[in-house]
Amino acid sequence: MVDLSNLFLGKTAPNPTVLASGFMGVTGSSLASAAKHGAGMVTIKSLSLEPRKGHKTPVIVGFDGGMLNAVGLSNPGVVNGVDELKIAKKKAGVPVIASVFADSVDNFAKAAAAVMPAEPDFLELDISCPNVDSEFGIPFAADSKAAASVTTACKKAVGSVPLIVKLSPNVTAIAPVAKSVEAAGADALNCINTLKGMVIDPVARRPVLTNKFGGVSGPALKPVAIRCVYECYKAVKIPIIGTGGVSTGKDAVEMMMAGATAVGVGSALYYRGLDAFKLITSEMKTWMKSEGFKTPKELVGLAHQS
């Protein structure tokens, strides 16, 4: 019999899937709904110290291989976010991940400390959003030292709550960044955030998105995400959430074989609906049974043995 229950940083989830930040996780009720629809863990949309409107529409466009978004990190701010996280903690029934972002190391630490009253199971540091460069400058994830500085500051701010650092594919080499945040105290990685891209309307002769650039998600991102997970798994000893383009059970298996302990799911909700989590885990279970695997742990890192 296949048992999909999954241990991640000391917490047991019913399966390896994780609601990725930014999808459905705007309120405590939406986080609980994602859990009800099969998510093994849930992540709230990233929060900043102050409320943020984000970018002007249009902010999302589809293309043949996926989606491009430049929502611009819109959120209600940490004060309101704490209330929503508390609701999620009561209703979700699965591990809840808080997520924060900021424009400086000090503000990252302040935002991290500000969400602690909600008692999240984990805290994710979004140091890698690709579509706010014009406002925040180069993402912290683009530089090993900067990424380590944020990790160190937030580690001090949150005490014993495990830190997950979300890395960027928009770098020449991701492994050195992974190693630097691990050394700075990160308890886990999330690989990866979206890939910076652009879509142009040839009739209008200009970029479709108001922000011009956006983050690529969906199937087009999967090979990049798997490569990043693979490289990070070789470089660090801490667990990894593999995020990017996972839409099917086989996608999830592939991500775990690259080295992921858990698997982020986001754009699949657009393609497969709210039942994406149940569909993915059902397909995982069917495949694992046919191949003789009993637990997700058996899959982690298998591609490194070939």
CA distances from 80 to 59, 74, 76, 120, 148 (A): 23, 13, 6, 14, 28
As a whole number of angstroms, the distance between CA 200 and CA 154 comes to 38
Of 125, 256, 31, 16, nearest to 8 (Cα)? 16
Which strands sit side by side in the sheet containing 60-63, from one edge to the other?
60-63, 66-69, 214-217, 195-197
Give the HSE-up count for residue 303: Cα atoms under 13 Å, Cβ half-sphere. 15
Of 129, 154, 191, 232, which one is the catalytic site residue? Answer: 129
Has 228 been annotated as catalytic?
Answer: no
Of 218, 297, 216, 219, nearest to 259 (Cα)? 297
Strands (E), the chain: 6-8, 11-13, 17-19, 41-43, 60-63, 66-69, 96-100, 122-126, 163-167, 188-191, 195-197, 200-201, 206-207, 214-217, 240-243, 262-265
Tell me the Ramachandran region of residue 22: left when phi exceeds 0, alpha when psi lies from -120 to 50, beta otherwise.
left
Catalytic site residues? 129
